[in-house]
């Protein structure tokens, strides 16, 4: 009798531990990528410019096309490389003529970026269609004036045809339309992970140690800033408890109110180096630093390792990318300005 009730208690305890953690995660504001396709589409689509296969395919071509840069050597994919977690893997972005980002800012991942509330580290851009206009023009990035980008694309009949197919024969192929179409493609770059399966009710999707890591993540307060479906992606006060160890690298101070976008933690194991200035290469060091800088607590080595174990469950399945074959330039295509 005693044995039986012990077993019963143990069973209940196991079940309720699972249920409780899931509830805790939900209460902490953590949310999964929806499994339901209609729900997912609603989440990532822009009703003002609904995605279609034609727009997505055209957007992919533009995303990979280095002719959108002054030199014709740098594409969106150069700094946000879909092969390497959607980033370039260097501390500061490097662009036209090898210029480093003047504020020593690190390229954030393009994967799941549609889930961010705002874009750029200082959150100055409301969505991907707006964001995409920045790097194309910025001198230390792609360095291409708007009219150069438009001239390059409109000089290539195959591109003009694709824009017509995507938006109708009267489409005006301007800089904004080009950026918007890149945004449509970027919206599709969603990477569901085992964490999402867990949050969607599949208790066995996370291992015991990953669940422990999730609990530590919540208990330590990480989900205060890293929550929602993006597990981040919102503006947060920065350095509220302590000064950031490498604050001297670069002159970035956040937005006018000192707020900085908390990056998504999805695929974080693939996107070193960390923080806005890319000065931390070890994920565990980054976790401990955030404990100090943002939460004003000491996160032990053991706790950091546990949180890291959880974070790796956020590494998601990438959409398959058929590498685009781009239409050839023509005699009227403005030449590369590379040397």
Binding interface with a second copy (CB under 8 A): 64-67, 71-73, 78, 81-85, 88-92, 94, 97-98, 100, 269-270, 272, 281-282, 318, 320-326, 328-329, 331, 335-336, 338-339
Q: Which is nearer to a second copy, 84 or 207 (CB)?
A: 84
Shortest Å, Cβ 277 to a second copy = 12
Angle of helix 157-167 relative to helix 175-187, nearest 10 degrees? 70
Query: Within 13 Å, how many C-alpha atoms sit on residue 316's CB side?
Result: 27
Helix (H, G, I), strand (E, B) or coil at 212: helix
Shortest Å, Cβ 316 to a second copy = 11
CA 156 to chain CA mean position, Å: 31
β partners of residue 235: 261
Q: Which of 211, 209, 137 is nearest to 178 (CA)?
A: 137
Active-site annotation, residues: 141
Provide the token pair at 11: 């069973």
SS (H, E, C) 244-274: CCCCCCCCCCCCCCCEEECCCCCCHHHCCCE
Tokens 């060091």 sit at which residue? 285
Q: Which is nearer to a second copy, 49 or 249 (CB)?
A: 249
Shortest Å, Cβ 292 to a second copy = 21
Shortest Å, Cβ 339 to a second copy = 6
């Amino acid at each position: 009798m005693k044995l039986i009730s012990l077993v019963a208690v143990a069973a209940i305890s196991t079940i309720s531990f699972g249920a409780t953690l899931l509830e805790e995660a939900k209460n902490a504001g953590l949310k999964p990528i929806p499994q339901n396709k209609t729900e997912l589409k609603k989440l990532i689509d822009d009703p003002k410019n609904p995605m279609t296969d034609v727009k997505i395919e055209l957007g992919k071509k533009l995303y990979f096309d280095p002719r959108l840069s002054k030199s014709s050597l740098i594409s969106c994919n150069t700094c946000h490389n879909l092969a390497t977690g959607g980033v370039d893997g260097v501390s500061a972005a490097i662009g036209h003529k090898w210029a480093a980002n003047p504020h020593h800012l690190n390229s954030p991942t393009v994967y799941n970026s549609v889930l961010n509330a705002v874009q750029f580290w200082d959150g100055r851009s409301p969505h991907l269609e707006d964001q995409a206009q920045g790097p194309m023009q910025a001198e230390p990035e792609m360095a291409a004036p708007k009219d150069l980008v438009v001239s390059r694309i409109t000089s290539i009949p195959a591109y003009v045809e694709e824009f017509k197919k995507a938006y109708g024969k009267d489409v005006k192929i301007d800089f904004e339309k080009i950026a918007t179409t890149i945004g449509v493609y970027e919206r599709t770059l969603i990477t569901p992970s085992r964490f999402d399966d867990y949050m969607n009710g599949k208790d066995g999707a996370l291992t015991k140690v990953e669940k422990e890591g999730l609990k530590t993540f919540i208990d330590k307060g990480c989900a205060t800033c890293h929550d929602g479906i993006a597990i981040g992606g919102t503006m947060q006060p920065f350095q509220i408890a302590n000064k950031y160890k490498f604050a001297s690298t670069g002159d970035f101070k956040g937005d006018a109110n000192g707020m900085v976008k908390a990056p998504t933690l999805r695929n974080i194991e693939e996107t070193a180096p960390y923080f806005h200035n890319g000065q931390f290469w070890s994920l565990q060091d980054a976790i401990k630093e955030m404990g100090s800088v943002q939460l004003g607590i000491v996160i032990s080595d053991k706790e950091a390792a546990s949180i890291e174990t959880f974070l790796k469950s956020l590494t998601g399945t990438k959409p398959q990318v058929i590498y685009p074959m781009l239409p050839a330039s023509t005699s009227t295509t403005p030449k590369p300005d590379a040397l």
